[in-house]
Amino acid sequence: MSTIINSSPGTATAATNGLSPIAKSLQNQREFFKSGTSKDADFRLTQLKKLRAAIVKYEKKIMTALKADLNKPAFEAYGTEVGFVLGELDHTIKHVKKWMRPNKVKTALFHAIGSSRIQHDPYGAVLIIAPWNYPFQLLIAPLIGAISAGNTVVLKPSELAPHTSDVCVEMIKETFDEHYIDIFEGGVPVSQELLAQKWDYIFFTGSTAVGKIVYQAAAKHLTPVTLELGGKSPCIVDKDTDIKVTAQRIAWGKLLNAGQTCIAPDYLLVQEEVKDELIEQLKKSIKKFYGKNPMKSKNYCRIISSKHLERLGALLENTNVVHGGEIDAETKYISPTLIDGVTDNDPVMQSEIFGPILPIMTYRNINEAIDYVNSHPKPLALYVFTKNKKLSKKVLKETSSGGACVNDTISHIASTEMPFGGVGASGMGGYHGKFSFEAFSHAKSVMERSQMIDPPLRYAPYRMNLGTLKFLLKRLM
Ligand code: NAD
């Protein structure tokens, strides 16, 4: 186990009694969990309320940090981060006691006299690792689930959003007993040291490549995981659609957070006949949202780092840019960009774009679009724009994706009633609302039997013939 020497709170630094701060923190968490405190219903509720009050107190600081990290406009910072998390919290505070109640289920006559129930147990000490693109939401939303399910938690915010990371450390340290909820800032080495420990559950949000590293680390201890990963989310546009509304909704979903959204439409598959009209409407929407020069817009985010900006810039080389394409390295700005005439072999189609670049490809028949999607890794989201219900049903039936929207982008994430998560390369497991509680709980099947009667039928030496056994199993199960 590595021992890193240094000091500031919230970082994996000074060694404590021979144990690294991370190992010591986990030890503290295990002791705290053993005390049973985190399992208590009133305790969970109190902590959720404390978290709520802390977020309200820190709202300004969080918004300022998001502005510093990503130039997030207040509307986006509140709508997609602070407000989003408060909505999840309110829903959880309202329902957590109900979710905790064991669910009674039917008991087979065979098991009379008895009762059966599903009891949700917390896993224990859980680790939550977050990315930088929604650095507040993606750290705190899983935390709500972990608290509601009765776990202790160690958080690891992203080092690439340092201002938000610092505010989260301050807020968490001020609000919670560190033996119950702790937080470690830092990059890959800190993350790796955290992953080297034996956790009872790991909740990871980030890239598919790092997701594989997390999964391998978890496998060593058979630790269960939720992996919220990324990928290329397709957006299919049928000719039978309101092009103006379609363009607006695509431009909004693509350009929110300057395209740095895991479920942003990554690329377009447009029916040939409407491509030109769609491009025109997309250009109009971009102008309407951000003015003639988006660089001057207060509503447009910046790219998280120079490295990511360079990566995005390289994707534009030798392409047919029909709108945008301007880059300013100093301010990490890249304008909303449309690329036409894209093929599957182009660099822009080789990996998740994660920026404000929208490649446009065409299809003639919907089967071509479906085949294209199915010949690539399963996406986190899939979007289809059409007024033709039969067509949207066909697309949803014949493709597999973490989630989907018909005639919109992004919106399916903002529901406490539906699980949000990926499938295949885009991840495993889901959360939000009750699904967060379930993600951080083990559903334990409990059967309770009376001692009043104890028919000898099941005991050896077996006396019942198979015919009777088959009859009884059919009737009494
Ligand atoms: P990332 O995978 O590079 O980093 C995520 C976290 O893992 C960070 O905290 C980082 O410190 C840590 N990390 C990085 N490299 C590591 C390594 N080698 N070993 C151990 N830990 C490591 O992802 P990112 O760049 O922060 O975020 C962008 C990605 O996240 C995109 O692919 C995006 O689609 C995905 N994402 C998914 C969701 C979702 O809900 N499914 C949400 C947001 C982002």
List of domains in the chain: 21-229+430-441 (3.40.605.10), 234-417 (3.40.309.10)
Q: What is the pTM of this model?
A: 0.95
Return the best residue to mutate from 261, 262, 352, 412 for the ligand 1 pocket (most ligand atoms within 8 A of CB): 262
Confirm whether 405 is a catalytic residue. no
3-state SS of the chain is CCCCCCCCCCECCCCECCECHHHHHHHHHHHHHHCCHHHCHHHHHHHHHHHHHHHHHHHHHHHHHHHHHHCCCHHHHHHHHHHHHHHHHHHHHHHHHHHHCCEEECCCHHHCCEEEEEEEEECCEEEEECCCCCCCHHHHHHHHHHHHCCCEEEEECCCCCHHHHHHHHHHHHHHCCCCCEEECECCHHHHHHHHHCCCCEEEEECCHHHHHHHHHHHHHCCCCEEEECCCCCEEEECCCCCHHHHHHHHHHHHHHHHHCCCCCCCEEEEEHHHHHHHHHHHHHHHHHHHCCCHHHCCCCCCCCCHHHHHHHHHHCCCCEEEECCCEECCCCEECCEEEECCCCCCHHHCCCCCCCEEEEEEECCHHHHHHHHHCCCCCCEEEEECCCHHHHHHHHHHCCCCEEEECCCCHHHCCCCCCECCCHHHEECCECCHHHHHHCEEEEEEEEECCCCCCHHHCCCCCCCHHHHHHHHHHHC
Ligand 1 midpoint to CA 365 (Å): 36
203's tokens: 């909740």
Ligand 1 in contact with 259 (CB < 6 A)? no
* Among 168, 185, 235, 262, the one annotated catalytic: 262
Evaluate: CB of 422 within 6 angstroms of ligand 1: yes
* pLDDT for the residue 2: 33
Q: What's the confidence (pLDDT) of residue 6?
A: 36
pLDDT of residue 8: 44
Instruction: Evaluate: CB of 432 within 6 angstroms of ligand 1.
Output: no
CB 199, CB 217: distance < 8 Å: no
| pLDDT given at position 249 | 98
Does 263 contact ligand 1 (Cβ within 6 A)? Answer: no
Mean pLDDT, each 10-residue run in order, the chain (477 residues): 38 66 97 98 98 98 98 97 98 98 92 94 98 98 98 98 98 98 97 98 98 98 98 98 98 98 98 98 98 96 97 97 97 98 97 98 98 98 98 98 98 96 98 98 97 90 92 84
On whether the CB atoms of residues 24 and 31 are closer than 8 A, the answer is no
**How far away, in angstroms, is 251 Cα from ligand 1 center?**
24
Is 129 close to ligand 1, i.e. is its CB under 6 Å away? yes
Q: How far apart are CA 46 and CA 416, in angstroms?
A: 21
Can you tell me the distance from the alpha carbon of 350 to that of 357, in angstroms, rounded to the nearest whole number?
13
Distance of CA 260 to the CA centre of its chain: 14
Compute the distance from residue 380 Cα to the ligand 1 centre, in Å.
Answer: 14
From the candidates 228, 352, 405, 438, give the one annotated as an active-site residue. 228
Residue of the nearest CA to atom 31 in ligand 1? 207
Residue 114 in contact with residue 241, Cβ under 8 Å? no
Distance from residue 131's CA to the centre of ligand 1 (Å): 5
pLDDT tens-digit readout, 100-110: 999 999 998 88
354 lines ligand 1 (CB under 6 A): yes
Q: Is 447 in the pocket of ligand 1 (CB under 6 A)?
A: no
247-280 tens-digit pLDDT = 999 999 999 999 999 999 999 999 999 999 999 9
Closest ligand 1 atom to 158 CA? 9
Atom 23 of ligand 1 has which residue's CA nearest to it?
A: 206
CA 121–ligand 1 middle distance (angstroms): 28
**Whole-angstrom distance, CA of residue 156 vs CA of residue 204:** 10
Whether ligand 1 lies within 6 angstroms of the CB of 260 is answered as: no
Q: Mutate which of 70, 133, 159, 197 to test ligand 1's pocket (most atoms within 8 Å of Cβ)?
A: 133
- Report the relative pairing of strands 403-406 and 181-183 from DSSP bridges: unpaired
The pLDDT value recorded for residue 1 is 30
Told to judge if 228 belongs to the known catalytic residues of this protein, a careful annotator would answer: yes
Q: pLDDT at position 5, please?
A: 34
